[in-house]
Amino acid sequence: MKVAIGSDHAGFKLKEIIINYLKRKKIELKDFGAYSEESVDYPDYAYPVAKAVADKEFDRGILICGSGVGVTITANKVKGIRAVNAYDTYTAKQSREHGNCNVLTLAGRKLTKAKATKIVDVWLKTEFSGDERHLRRLNKIEPLE
């Protein structure tokens, strides 16, 4: 699995934690920035990650800002992206099983290291169920893009 990851300044510390976690798990990744806690604008990092996932350069994407909301909004503007702001493992699992979400967003200022890594772990391990009812719903969303 190849993962694209990015953050703004508010998500930088958590991004570094997640990068180290993914490396320990031997998951291939690319860091799209930001590269410090110096103030930046989240769309400048969220869009390239989402675009790379939509273009199939990466299997999944992870984005982090202060609340996770700004990067979620930005990523969901890209055709083919289904981004979820997961705040617990249940949401992460459901987003994959039912929504086939391909971008995970996290709240850098709200999640602990332990909680964030659990969310990432569950999200990466969970596959889309492929259930007919979920496919039907996703097929209704696609034309709206």
Residues marked active site are found at 65, 98
Instruction: For residue 12, give the amino acid letter.
Output: F
Is the Cβ–Cβ distance between 11 and 106 less than 8 Å?
Answer: yes
What distances in angstroms separate CA 84 from CA 4, 35, 87, 103, 118, one per listed residue?
15, 23, 9, 6, 15
* Contacts (Cβ under 8 Å, ≥6 apart) of 113: 14, 17
Find the DSSP H helices in the chain.
Answer: 12-24, 43-54, 69-75, 89-97, 113-125, 132-141
Give the residue carrying structure tokens 């086939």. Answer: 100
